[in-house]
């Protein structure tokens, strides 16, 4: 659900293409995959184990430090008080423009991504094979 909410935030930022891709890929594929795996693993009830205090303290410290750093940085950013600037052509076709940029300036990384997906597919098939006896 948080993924869909994030897609809505993208829409407010006029990034329609990204919003749709987010819903399709994340909410549609990644989460479904997660659910399938959870079902596959057939998890049993865990025994509750003793909570380690040191872990919680350490994690809390890191998180706290990060959040404070975040607030400091954002407040000191020069452009952080701006509201959304006006776009020169609000009716522009967002998908087409993203497509242009993707295929013109980023063509080579795009091809690499294709190869990456192929590699990931082959890897997953290999990893999930049952061992031959």
Partner 1 sequence: MQTAPWIILFTPLVAAALILLVGRFSKTLSSTLAIFSALTCCVLSWNLFLSGGEGPKISHTWLSFGPDLIIPISFTLDHLAKVMLLVVTTISPLVFIYSLGYMRDEEGYSRFFAGLSLFLFSMLGIVLADNFVMMFIFWELVGVSSYILIGHYYSKDSAADAGKQAFIVNRIGDFGFMLGILLLWFATGTVVFSDIVSAIPQLGTLPLYLTIACVLVFLGTVGKSAQMPLHVWLPNSMEGPTPVSSLLHAATMVAAGVYMLARIFPILEVVPTAREIIAWVGGITCFAAALMATQQSDIKRILAYSTISQLGYMVLGIGVAPTSDIAMFHLFTHACFKCLLFLAAGSVMIAMHHGVDMWTMGGLRKRLPVTMICFIAGMLALAGCPYTSGYYSKDLIIEWAVVQIPFLGWLAAAAAGLTAFYIFREFFVIFFGKERSSHAEHAKEQPITMLLPMLVLAIFAIFSGWPFIQEHFFTLERPEHVPHNLHPFLYGMFFGGAGLATLLYVKAAKDPVNIPLFANRLYIDAVYDWFVKNIQGGGAALLSWADRWVIDLLIVQVPSKLTWACGFALRFLQFGNIQAYAFFFGAGVVGLIYILISTK
Partner 2 sequence: MPPSCFIEHPMPTLAHYLIVSGLLFSIGLAGVLLRRNILIIFMGLELMLNAANLSLVAFSRFNLLPDGMPNYNGQVLVFFIITVAAAEVAVGLAIIVALFRAKQTTHVEDLNTLKF
Contact residues for partner 1 (CB under 8 A)?
55, 58-59, 61-62, 65-66, 69, 72-73, 76
Q: Which lies closer to partner 2 via its Cβ, residue 75 or residue 133?
A: 75
Residues near partner 2 (CB under 8 A):
2-3, 6, 9-10, 12-15, 17-18, 21-22, 25-26, 29-30, 33-34, 37-38, 40-41, 43, 46, 49, 55-56, 58-59, 62-63, 66-67, 70-71, 74-75, 77, 79-85, 87-89, 92, 97-98, 100-102, 105-106, 109, 113, 116-117, 120-121, 123-124, 127-128
Task: Assess contact for 3 and 23: CB atoms under 8 A.
Answer: yes
Q: 10 Å Cβ neighbour count for 19? A: 20
Residue 65 contact partner, candidates partner 1, partner 2, none, CB within 5 to 8 A by sort of partner: partner 1
Spatial distance between the Cα atoms of 42 and 54, rounded to a whole number of angstroms: 31
DSSP state of 81: T
Spatial distance between the Cα atoms of 128 and 130, rounded to a whole number of angstroms: 6
Task: Assess contact for 22 and 6: CB atoms under 8 A.
Answer: yes
């Amino acid at each position: 659900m948080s993924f869909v909410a994030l897609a809505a935030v993208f829409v407010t930022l006029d990034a329609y293409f990204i919003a749709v891709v987010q819903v399709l890929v994340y909410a549609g594929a990644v989460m479904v995959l997660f659910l399938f795996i959870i079902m596959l693993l057939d998890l049993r009830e865990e025994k509750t184990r003793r909570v380690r205090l040191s872990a919680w303290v350490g994690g809390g410290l890191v998180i706290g430090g990060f959040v404070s750093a975040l607030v400091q940085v954002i407040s000191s950013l020069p452009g952080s008080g701006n509201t959304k600037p006006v776009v020169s052509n609000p009716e522009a076709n967002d998908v087409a423009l993203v497509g242009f940029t993707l295929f013109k300036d980023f063509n080579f990384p795009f091809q690499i991504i294709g190869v990456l997906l192929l590699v990931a597919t082959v890897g997953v098939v290999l990893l999930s094979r049952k061992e031959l006896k």
